[in-house]
Structure 1
Amino acid sequence: MLRSNWSAVRQSGAETHKEIHSLLQASVSVLFHKQSSDRQDGVRNEDSFKRSVLGCRLWIRTNILTCNDIGSRRFIKATLMEMGAMTWKSRFSSRHMLWLFCLVWSTIEAQIRYSIPEELKLGSVVGNLAKDLELGLTEIYERKLQIASESGKQYFGIDLGKGELVITDRVDREQICSTVVKCTLTLEAIIENPLQMYRVEIDVQDVNDNSPFFLNNQIVVNVEEARTPGARFRLETAKDPDINSNSLQSYALSKNEYFVLSVKNKDGTKIPELVLEKALDREKQSTHNLVLTAVDGGTPARSGTTAIIVRVQDSNDNSPVFEKTSYKLKLPENAKRGTVILTVKAKDADEGINSELIYSFEPITPASIQNLFSIDPENGAVTVKDDLDYELVNSFQFEVIASDKGASPLEGLCSVELEILDVNDNAPEIILKSLPKPVREDAAPGTVVALIGAKDSDSGDNGKVKLSIQPGLPFTLKPSISNYYALVTVSTLDQETFPKYTVEIMAEDSGTPPLQSKTQISVEVLDVNDNHPVFLQSSYVIYVKENVNAGNVLCTVSASDPDQGENSKISYSIIDSQNQGISVSSYFYINSENGSIFSMHSFDYEKMKVFQLRVQAKDHGSPSLSSNATVHVFIVDQNDNAPAVIYPSTFMGSVSHQRMSRSVKAGHLVTKVTAVDADSGHNAWMSYRLAEATDASLFSVTFHTGEVRTKRSVSEQDDSSQRLLIEIKDNGEPVQSTTVTVDILIEDGFHEPISDFTHKHTEPEKKSSKITLYLIVSLASVSLLCLLTFLVLLVKCARGSRGGSSCCVRRSDSEYKNPNRNLQIQLNTDGPIKYVEVLGGDMMSQSQSFGSYLSPMSEFSDFTLVKPSSTTDFTNTLSVLDASLPDSTWKFESQQVSRDAQSV
């Protein structure tokens, strides 16, 4: 029938509430029909189980409207069919299956709130927590799902393979919640990446697993024979740890003719009383034995019994009476031991021993109250016996009995209600819900580092907790859910400055006086490649001699990176560039690990005087960072070039031919030998001497200028053909030299002055002398102007050098070329020879060159203008500032000087 009903529903696709309800009714009917054939002795248990099923079915009927999932209805069907197939030998487990069925349904409705019966077996499934949190099975491991109990004891655990919440310890509702009706265990489910926390509540339902019981196996009741029917005698109350319907429900008294049982309900507690129904006759029967039975409302019901011994005595007919029937007072939880909090008073109208009173706790007073308080039996003073704790119990209610000392003691009763006042006696507790994780130094502000909670067992303002951290840190505490705070970043971090932070967390409650607690956590900062390598110098200067063999270490550049690990490892390289059309990398090599720069070729000063390298330092971070430094390599000149004669020209042969008149006087300038040296500085200083001569007494050669002059007048005996061998040496080490041969032909009457011409042209000679005078004055003026210009430029450049900037005295950029200048003056003050070279036009073009050689060894400064010559071969020599020489070579540039020089 069930299968056909279910098939009909599925085939029709019906999902209405009415059809689902009908299906459930049919399923339960089958279940009851199945059990009707069981044995007769199981009827009572069958009825009990049937009531449980009907109760669950009623609950399902009420809540079925919330379920539209066909999978849930299949689960209901399977569960009820399984229950219907069971025998009554497994009634108890069937009842638990019914509870589990209700549990699953409740979970579907309430999500992360579960309800379970107590005393389930270890390993029983409470619910699929991972599914309710919408977590996949792989996320359970990756996000580290874990649970924590607020009570401290762990009753539950997580099956990481399925994500189910299972029972790991015995769940005894009576032990956990005592008499509290609603018993809830609170768990905290925590997952990471990102960090989240959920509150999980588990309601523990009571199971009738305890029978009612009496503290004493027998109760003795003393009754005077004079007592009239209707007299009441209070009996001991039975106890049942269960709650609601499973708790104590009723009492039953064994049959007798003198007493009946009356049950009084006071504040939810059922108190049995023995009521005298028929007058007693001690002579006829002095003792009556009765049985009192306590029964709970569970299914099946449980019971407990105690014996009542009624002893018939003579009269003591006045009971003690208290001044007040109830006492109410308040007491702070920090009350010291021995403090008298109350004194109760009672009176007895009898006389003698029947009026003497003894004070005590009512027999059913819990032992926990009797351990905290004591009553003086003589004067009724209630005293604090042990330390109180508001956080454990915040109120007490008990009864005090005053009994007389008569033969048949009578009792008086009063109640005491004691409210405990909270005192701020518990310091806040700091709870780390997650250990702080290392944070990257480039983490954005607001990054969560840790989740921190606070708890205070006190109540009210005493339990309000505020968290704080020490100032000056790049972190702050941001309130989160409940009493939890998130430790987040508020500014950027710098691993190089602070690789690790120690954060001191302080918790303070709002009590008076406030209590505090502290704890420390460490936050590690992870390095990020955020620092460029830094060279020790922004530029390097290297001096290398020309003609040195390749493979030598020229210098070592070094850079540092404050980052850590791979981010701080540095590799060096040369950024390739062109220097006069030549690749720099073809001349130099750098060791990528230590920055050592090697030469790959020997250098020629006359071809290339300076190199400019750009060295790059790159770290191994991702992405990598780099920085550059400039390396200036100056080639130091070596004396590897011999002087070259440029005048007189020997282009047509190895000997230069000159003519001279025999009538010349001593000191006559026959010719001038002019030579140049491709080297520079001292290596380019040249000297001239007469190595060989046909007649050494006739001619002389000026040491510095190379002028060939007559030493005396030519005589008739002197040969008409004179050969001179002139040697030119430079000032280098080793000395380089060259020679030139000059043939001089002495002719008679060559340029001889004619007397008639002299006499006839006296006036023209006078005019010529005037022209000579004008020429001398012009040359002197030009010389003075050049000297003044030189001095002005020198003073101006000296001032500029003091100001830290360069004006007219500077190193030439771009390989020391300046095509925009028309005149260049080069002064060299090295050694004993002082000279100035005036170069006109572009350095790389055919320029006019004027050399002035000033000899400090003579009394007169000779100024010689030489024929224009080509400076193409010496461009680089004049374009580089040779800082390695004792005295610097300076280059002066002026358009005005250029014009003056050209005018000369």
Structure 2
Amino acid sequence: TCIIAILSALTLTAVDGGKPPRSGTMQIIVNVEDINDNIPVFSKSLYKARVNENAPPGTSIIRVQASDPDEGVNGEIVYALVNHNNDKHVDSFLIHPETGEITVKGDVDYERKNAVELRVQAKDKGHKPRPALCKVLLEIVDINDNVPKISVTSLVNTVKEDAPIDTMVGMITVTDSDAGKNGQVTLKIQGSASFKVQNSYNNYYTLVVNGPLDRERASEYNVTITATDEGTPPLSSTSVITVHVSDVNDNAPRFPEPVINVYVKENSQIGAVIHTVSAFDPDVGDNARITYYLLESSKSGPVTSMININSDSGDILVNGPLDRERASEYNVTITATDEGTPPLSSTSVITVHVSDVNDNAPRFPEPVINVYVKENSQIGAVIHTVSAFDPDVGDNARITYCLIESSKSGPVTSMININSDSGDIHSLQSFNYEEIKTFEFKVQATDSGVPPLSSNATVNVFILDENDNSPGILAPYSELGSVNTENIPYSADAGYFVAKIRAVDADSGYNALLSYHISEPKGNNLFRIGTSSGEIRTKRRMSDNDLKTHPLVILVCDNGEPSLSATVSIDVVVVESAGDGKTPFRHAPIKEESFSDLNLYLLIAIVCVSVIFFLSLISLIAVKCHRTDSSLGRYSAPMITTHPDGSWSYSKSAQQYDVCFNSDTLKSDVVVFPAPFPRGREITVQKYVDYEQSNAIEIRIQAKDRGYNPRAAHCKVLVEVEDVNDNIPEISVTSLVRTVKEDAPIDTMVGMITVTDSDAGKNGLVTLNIQGSAPFKVQKSYKNYYTLVVNGPLDRERASEYNVTITATDEGTPPLSSTSVITVHVSDVNDNAPRFPEPVINVYVKENSQIGAVIHTVSAFDPDVGDNARITYYILVDMLCCMLPNQYF
């Protein structure tokens, strides 16, 4: 059945010749039928594919594809394999008639045939089908299915243990039936550093000495050789070669210990054997026959006058009278020498210790020891450790300690104890500085000799004060919760004396140095107290708005660590007249006729404190006077108050200024301080302001009078934060290639880099540069995005990696910069040929040399790495010689 296609529609019109002319029309439709006039066309005329020789049936290899522009069955294609030559290898493959997919049908064997050419026919389904052909070249991939075989062609009987490196031991050949890399074999030795294999030619190897041999450690070596091919997966085989090692005199006699300690009494008889030394030589025969003798020591002098040795037996004898007080020990060097050729020897140091008698008493480093102990220290704590020295040894130098009562300090054993062995002095009580400030006792050190000897040392213990006493309020005031009352007249001027708080502290030093503060109410603007004097005075005159009764809480603190304190409550009552202001509890600053002992102590402490702070106070007053002008007398000092809601208020004269913030996070960032002059109020920065967190801050200011019904006004202050260049650029490597080939062309991309700067404006504009002469450069892609590219020739043999230092610098004033180091690894390409050290090599060999003997080893060097540096050697036929070289080598 043919598919009918509409090509076009035509309109036919007929007109007569009358007047007026008349006409008629009709529509003509033309249909075109398809015929099979196109042959299928393959996408390629030659297809290439690879298949493993062990591929199972059904394994897909390749899919061929042909197209036919005809329609219907004329364009439907059927695929088939064409075997004109009756090649039996073609029968191992199958093609799908519709998809064109070629799969494995039977056995595929590389050893039988390593390549198969298939002819594929594509034919349409038209009435008269039209075929087309293409070729498919299948390469059979060899698999590694043969293990290497190792053969030892020659082997020496024995190898001397002093054989030099590269001494030949045997000849080895290895074969592998596979092809390509599957047949390329590498020979290695397992677990032995004494031998190695060297590749002579192709799969011919020599077994040579690779390290020092030791017959005493191993008289024979079982060398395990492994042959591994380069297939995937690699196959290997092993062979064990036994190498016998002959002995040479390469071992000196050895003492069991390099240093030997011998103890002898100083009253030993001359000729007594005090020790016997014995050295061992692992060699045999004359090489192991040992003689002994002494070496004179420059440190111990002529020891042979005191010590001697039997050259055959090694017995060490007393040769003279020993005296420990003259020499407590003798360092004797003994030499043991064998009779080998050449003879070898070794030495050992014997320290002869002369036993002591107890003729030295223990000695303390100092006759008087001062110990400082904090009061209230824990009971049982070690307050000091005494240590005495006894030049004797053993029990004669073993020291025990004990306490000796002192008549000055009384029974010290109730306060301290001593560890008889360690000398640790322990406290038996917690010391109170206010009760005892120092005491003395003696410590006796006694050795354990016979008879025992001893010596004494005096120990002075000083108790250090701690701040463990709170200040005590002196009469007439009390800190026991009662409230004291003081009256002041309404007309009292600024500086009017209200009361004087006196307190004492039982501690000493800074722990007893007291300071006075008004604790409540906070931010009091009517009264002040002398920090060191304790005098309470008015800060200004009374006003109608002030309360009639002012409860004050006075805090008295010492200067200890931590500080201790006491409080006293005073109600200051404002009375109308001066006569009503007299109370029996009021203390005017008048001179007292007499002082009690306690008051005198307080006065001395106050004078000492005043002297310490005198210069600071004068400097502070001078600075404040310098900053005030002639109108200062008309303005009182501003008061700073913190409200419960967290806002600040500032009061001065009859006006109050409240500061409110529109953001809780900014309350501690900006604080308004009123200026002490008529020029206005200042807003200053209290904490660090960061443009990157907020570039503008809005502050609401409230001004409120202090009338009966206070009235307030508000304003807003918009603080614009200007950016400063306080952020360094940050460099980030977003992508980086693992390796760059050393033949990479210019502008090859290596990585992507981004740089950011948190600042604004020019402070955030960053320029990226490379430091040094690395063959790379950065190119700007978009804004702060850069690419790192190759800018010059690379050479892996000269530098396998480059540490590229990139610097990012902003345009701020002053500019800030940061650096980042990017490591670029360069991969190898095969751009270097192997090089021989010399172009001509002369080798001399004796005639009648054994077949398989190594007459020379040539070595070429290739600076490349990996497979590019793996070198194989072979002999070229020399046409100038009458004999072919490969007949002999």
Identify whether the pair has TM-score above 0.5, normalized to the shorter chain: no
Please give the TM-score of this superposition, normalised by the length of structure 1: 0.26
Q: Normalized per residue, which structure has more helix?
A: 1
Larger radius of gyration: 1
Q: Normalized per residue, which structure has more strand?
A: 2
Please give the TM-score of this superposition, normalised by the length of structure 2: 0.26
